[in-house]
Amino acid sequence: MINPSVDNQVSENRPRRFRWFASVISLMLVCVLLAGYWLLNSQSGLQWTFSVVHRLSSGTIHFDGVQGALHDLRIENIHFAGDEFELEGQNIRIVWNPGKLFYKQIAIDRLTAETLKIHHWASEEDTPRGTLPESLNLPLALSIHALTIDSMYMATAENKNAEPIITNLVLALESDGHMHQLKSLNFHTPWGSVNALAEFNGSSPFDLSAQIDLSGVDPWGDAQMLITGSLERMKIQASTVQSTITGDLQLQLHPFADNPVVQLDANIEQLNPASFIAAAPQASLSLSAHFAQNDSGQLEGKMRIENHEAAPYDAGGLPLSLFSTQAWITSKSLKLQDIDVQMDGDGLLRGDLIWHWDEQFGSADIRVERLNPYHIDSRLQAAQVSGQIQWSGNVQTQSARIHLHDKSVNLAAVIARSGENVTLEQLNLQRNQSQFTGRGKLALGHEKLFELSGQLANFNIADFVRTVDSNLNAVLHLSGQLSPHVSGVLKYTIQNSRLAKSPVSGSGEIAFNGLNAFDGKVELKAGSNHLVAQGSMGAKGNAFDLRLKAADLAQLGFGLAGDLQAHVNLTGSFEAPDLDLKLTSKRLYLQDNRSVSGVAVDASLHNEVISLEALIEHYDAHEKIAIKKLTIGTQGKISNHNLSIKAQINENITFRLAAAGGVDPKKPLQSLRWTGQFTEIATTGKMPVRLLSPAAFSVSAQSVSLDQARFSISGGFASLDQLHWTSKDWKTQGNFSGIALFPGSQQAFNQSPLQLGGHWNFVSTQQLMGNLKIFQEQGDWYLPGEVPQPLGMEKLQLIVTAERGKLISEFNLFSQSIGSITADLTMPIKQSASSWYISHESALHGKVNVDINTFNWFNALLDGSMSAEGQIQAHVDIQGTLQQPDFSGTVSGSKLSVVLLDQGINLQQGTLAARFHQTDLKIDRLHFITPHEVPPDKRLFGDFESEDMRGSLTITGNIGLAGNESRMDFTIHQLPLAHKAEYWVIASGSGEIRFQNSRLNLKGNLWADAGLLLQPPEGHPELAEDIVFVNAPEQTVQHLSLLLNMSLNLGERFHIRVAGLEGRLTGQLQVQSDENNKLKLNGTIAAQDTSFKAYGQNLSVKRGIVSFQGPLDDPELNILALRENLAVESGVEIMGSVRYPRVKLISTPDVPDTEKLSWIVLGRKPDASGLDTSVLLAAAGSILGGQSGGGITEKISAALGVDEISFRQAGVGSSLTGQIGVVGKRLSSRAYLSYERGLTATTMGITKLTYNLTPKVTIVTQAGEDSAADLFYTIQFD
């Protein structure tokens, strides 16, 4: 029987226990929630959580400065230390949504880090080859909206303070756990910018695809890389974009195989090593490499490097022309077979090389054939060296043998290494009688002991190097140690030797201990030059004395000449030395046509008191005085002294500098720093500069600093707020205002000049950052001339910005006289060991817009003989590189006109249509219309009617903008080539103009539609040939080569009216010139329907032919002119050449020459009484003068019984003018009677009687138009 009370009791206890258990669970949940809230939403809980993580990691991960809450976390520093690397992040912030974890998602809205430093420690153990993972799926979905890292550093044990390798990194990532997508990855490096996209499957076979874009990678330019395939089999394609260097790469990889590279194909063109390393030689390399795995798993293929611009090292080039080899590459060995190296010239190096990675053993055998040292370095002597170079060994034991020779040269060397000992067993260099032998050894232990001995016998340096002849006989011995610092003893003896033509002798022994201590004596004599140095330095009480007496440096033959004397006395130690220095030279000739004269230096340093006085009277460079006088003076203590520099530069510039400061003598030499201030800096000239107030300045071997320097410059000021330079970085900033630019002399300019202002601020570290701005403040720019013309400038501005490895420039010009010009250009900049520079392969990005609405500014630059008008618009895009720019865009012109007043050319209504293409300006059409003017004599051209009375000029072609060839075609149609009172020519034709490298080619065909040559006006004042302007400016030599090949056809309407000649000319000429600019002319000109008027008579030109067969100034002549319709038809016949004409009188029937002349001039026989004599003599000189050696003038003189018949210009003060004829007869040894008359005058003339009283006293009487008596005397001074 059941007890109901017991059942009730049990039923009552169950709810009670359940309620208790539920209460406990609820309390625990509340505690967990409270703990979770405390952990996740309070700073103390968050810090406790990260401290637990630190303890659990055994200190591997360390956190500092944890703040915020879990969803918005800030950590000042995270440090992770592993076996091979350490990672340190600073100022990290993570904003994310922890609630997404319940949905198996990690959602990070923002993750930022100021710096991330990765320190990698090299492992001594070999890194095992990786294996392909089974899966790369994530247990949770991951979303990173934005991850940014300002700076990322990669440091190694050798370089712990490395500069940031990545800056401004921005990343976005999405993953559902299986498919991972890199939405974007952007960052900057010192070599360029990177933009990347990628997609990756976390399941086998791990398919992937990626695209990586590189920009601003100097000198590669922009490049693109595509990655496809899978993690197991990957294919990479890369190519350059818009770069001088063109290249493409195709690579197939099996990353987890023993030999990961399956196939490689690479082609690179126009690779210049100097673009990567500033000190590297210039070259233009083409590289091709084609490798593929063979059946044995070896990477087999060929590699070829070709240099298209081989040049010697001393010319800045690379003497290698070709390198090719067949290669086999595995993880165990490298084998290069059939190595073929072709040097500039015929030199060859051929052979094989092999290296075993595991055994660390290898060998090489290189054969040398016809190697010419001159092609390697042009300072070396030429030879044809052949021989063999052999090398073999392992890490511990190695040996090398070199044997090179030709007919006169022999080089033999044997080098061996055994453990830590390297021995030069043999070194023998010989050519002709010159011989050098040597031996040596080096111990690679702690102290690195070395010993080297050598001997010169009849050694002529000129046998090996292009220098002066010598014959040296010397013995030298050098021994010592390299560690912990270089120390040792050098001994040498020179005897029975010669340098150039001077005897050489000397001996010496020097013991040195680093750079701070030495002891010994050195003596050297070379001709009249003597050097003696002896003593010791390095400790207190030491003394060192050096004396140089070089009376004739030309005896040394190294491009030096003149004299030099020096005396240096040094006592004490390097830490506290006392110094006396004296140096003098009357004239010292240096290389490159430079010289100094009047050199005197006197310096001393005693007890920290320094004194210096230096003077250079002249410094000449390339026959021009660069500095007329330079003085330098210093007085005071080392710690506090004054410095002054004064210089006269050329004629109109002086320079003055004064400074006060000093150095701390207690500091070591390598740490010395001069600290002080500039108290004066001043220059004169077109832009005078003056320091307005003292400026603090300091300089050392490691840094330079100048702050708060304010200058007055050309009426304005410039403030240098900061200038700080170190070997690693520099920065400068400042501003300027009111700096005036004058078109000429400032004193002669009374207008308001252009005044510029601006500012700059640059900082150089791993990148160059900053800007420069120059702008117009007021005033205007005036074109030079008698009346300066303003440009009406409204805006002038230049802005240059450096950022992110690029230099960005903007230029703006607005002018009433010019129009507007705007331009911007961006190019990458690169940093060398000493400076920033712009590489020739730098990619350019820019544009230029030009709108010229008038050419008044251009006309003001000319002398008034030419004027231009019109409007030009240009829009240009600039791409390519600095070495090979690529221009694109258009140029248009309208209302163009060009007027050449002296030539009478009037080009109007011009239009221009052109476009840019790469480095060319393509002229599609440049067209001008030229209106005709009425010819001087319409009667001659009655049958000539030009089309619409207008001419035209049309030009097409291209103009090279970067030194490349310019080539243009021109066509003219009835164009007035010359239109003045002297000549009038209408021509048509076509031709071609080519220009490159100062070489102008001009060829074409021209013909005259109509033409008229007139007599030019006489009486223009001219200077006599013997007048020379002493201070005339030097004429600039134009090194232009003109190659001319033009055909000129005179046509049927070419008339002439010159010097009494009237008629028509026909014929064709071919004008040519050679590379020496020497003109040649071939062809014939013939006179048609022509008459010649002389002394009022018309002679009919029956035959008038001028034939050119080469020289321009000496054509062949064939001319016959007759006076017709008389009883005796007389005339003149001219044969021969212009230089050697043969002139004779002819008549029908034949009569004496005097009678022939009378029939030509008077139309009758000469008067028997002789009254026609003066007229006939004048006519004879006018028509027949200029011949020598028994000419007609001499025959007439003899027939008339006179001694002189001449024609000359009337003298100053004479009553006669123009050309005069003179007839003279010597009456006795002292008396001379002459008659003078103007050739074109109708007056009676002058009769003179000249009588010599003594050799120095003469009486001259004259009667006629002007009667007078004169007394002349002569006084001579020796």
Residue 223 β-bridge partners: 214, 240
Nearest CA among 606, 561, 560, 567 for reference residue 583: 567
Q: Which of 308-322, 358-372, 730-744, 1147-1161 has the lowest mean pLDDT?
A: 1147-1161
As a whole number, the mean pLDDT across the chain is 81
Tell me if 94 sits within 8 A of 70, measured CB to CB.
Answer: no
Q: Which of 937, 938, 973, 970 is nearest to 956 (CA)?
A: 970
**What six digits make up the tokens of 743?**
């078109």
In the chain, how long is the greatest CA-to-CA distance?
A: 202
Check: CB of residue 238 under 8 Å from CB of residue 266: no
Give a three-class secondary structure readout of 1153-1191: HHHHHHHHHCCCCCCCCCCCHHHHHHHHHHHHCCCCCCC
Most confident of 64-68, 608-612, 882-886: 608-612
Q: Are 409 and 403 in contact (CB under 8 A)?
A: no
How far apart are the C-alpha atoms of 714 and 685, rounded to whole Å? Answer: 9
Q: Are 1238 and 1217 in contact (CB under 8 A)?
A: yes
pLDDT tens across 1034-1082, in order?
544 445 677 888 888 888 888 877 666 788 888 888 888 776 767 788 8
Q: What integer pLDDT is reported at residue 79 of this predicted model?
A: 84
Conformation bin of residue 63: beta by default, left when phi > 0, alpha when psi is -120 to 50: beta
Q: What percent of the chain has pLDDT over 70?
A: 81
Coil, strand or helix at 332: coil
3-class DSSP assignment, residue 373: helix
Angle between helices 1173-1184 and 1192-1200 (to 10 degrees): 170
d(CA 905, CA 985): 10
Query: With b meaning 16 or more CB within 10 Å and e meaning fewer, what string describes 171-193?
Result: bbbebbeeebebeebebbbeebb
Report the C-alpha gap between 703 and 726 in whole angstroms: 4
The tens digit of pLDDT for each residue in 412-464 reads 999 999 888 999 999 999 999 999 999 999 998 888 899 999 999 999 988 99
Q: Dig out the tokens for 257 from the structure.
A: 């195989």
Please state which of the ranges 25-39, 500-514, 950-964 shows the lowest mean pLDDT: 25-39
What is the crossing angle of helices 1192-1200 and 1153-1161, to 10°?
Answer: 100
pLDDT of residue 1189: 40
Backbone φ, ψ for residue 1046 (5° rounding): -120, 140
- The string of DSSP letters for 259-323 reads S-EEEEEEEEEEE-GGGT-TTSPB--EEEEEEEEE-TTS-EEEEEEEEETT---GGGTB--EEEE
Where does the pLDDT of residue 1187 fall: very low under 50, low under 70, confident under 90, or very high at 90 and above? very low
Strand ranges (E), 395-448? 397-405, 409-418, 421-431, 434-443
Kindly state the average pLDDT of the residues 990-995.
Answer: 88
Contact between 770 and 759 (Cβ < 8 Å):
no
Strands 885-900 and 905-918, how do they pair?
antiparallel
Which pLDDT belongs to residue 14?
Answer: 46
Residues pairing with 590 in the sheet: 594
- pLDDT tens, 460-490? 988 999 888 889 999 999 999 988 888 999 9
Query: At 34, is the pLDDT very low, low, confident or very high (cuts 50, 70, 90)?
Result: low
pLDDT tens for each residue of 54-105 = 676 676 788 888 887 777 888 888 888 776 778 888 898 888 888 887 888 8
pTM score of the predicted model:
0.60
Phi, psi of 1083 (to 5 degrees): 140, -175
Q: Which residue has the higher pLDDT, 118 or 1275?
A: 118
pLDDT at 775 over 90: yes
> Is residue 953's pLDDT more than 80?
yes
Instruction: Provide DSSP, 775-843.
Output: EEEE---EE-SSS-EE--EEEEEEEEEEETTEEEEEEEEEETTTEEEEEEEEEE-EE-SS-EE--TT-B
> Mean pLDDT throughout 344-353?
88
Q: In the predicted model, is pLDDT for residue 38 greater than 60?
A: no
**Tokens read off for 310:** 């081989």
Amino acid 17: pLDDT: 46
1186-1214: buried (b, 16+ CB within 10 Å) or exposed (e) per residue?
Answer: ebeeebbbebbbeeeebeebbbeeeeeee
pLDDT in tens, 534-581: 998 877 778 899 999 999 988 887 778 899 999 999 888 777 788 899
pLDDT score for 1028: 59
Nearest to residue 805, comparing CAs of 348, 36, 217, 325?
217
Q: Name the least confident of 364-378, 884-898, 1004-1018.
A: 1004-1018
pLDDT, position 288: 93
Q: Assess whether pLDDT exceeds 70 at residue 160.
A: no
Non-local (6+) Cβ contacts of 563 within 8 A are 550, 551, 552, 553, 585, 586, 587, 588
pLDDT for the residue 1190: 45
Q: Assign 1173 a pLDDT band (cuts: 50, 70, 90).
A: low
Average pLDDT score over residue span 249-258: 87
Q: Are 829 and 836 in contact (CB under 8 A)?
A: yes
pLDDT recorded at residue 127: 58
Q: To 10 degrees, what angle do helices 43-56 and 4-41 make?
A: 90
Alpha helices in 540-673, H assignment, sequence order:
none
Residue, of 949 and 250, whose pLDDT is higher: 250
d(CA 562, CA 566): 14
Q: What are 959's two structure tokens?
A: 């103009």
pLDDT of residue 1257: 76
- Tell me the average pLDDT across 858-869: 73
Q: Which amino acid is at 98?
A: P
pLDDT in tens, 786-810: 667 788 888 999 999 998 778 999 9
Q: What is the pLDDT of residue 295?
A: 83
Report the run of H or E that residue 11 belongs to, with start and end. Answer: helix 4-41
Question: Measured between alpha carbons, how far is 653 from 891 in angstroms, rounded to an integer?
Answer: 44
Task: Report the alpha-carbon distance of residue 1098 to residue 1114 in Å, rounded.
Answer: 27
Residue 1142: pLDDT band (50, 70, 90) is confident
Residue 951 has pLDDT above 80, yes or no: yes
Q: What is the DSSP string of 1014-1044?
A: EPPPP------TT---TTPPPPPP---EEEE
What residue spans define the domains of the chain? 844-938+947-975
pLDDT at 1239: 61
pLDDT in tens, 185-238: 999 887 778 999 999 998 888 899 999 988 876 666 678 899 999 888 899 998
Angle, CA 1004 vertex, CA 999 and CA 1010 arms, to 5°: 130
pLDDT greater at residue 274 or residue 389: 389
DSSP class per residue in 575-599? SSEEEEEEEEEEEEEETTTEEEEEE
| Contacts for 1264 with CB less than 8 Å, ≥ 6 apart | 1244, 1245, 1246, 1247
Residue 1233's pLDDT is 76
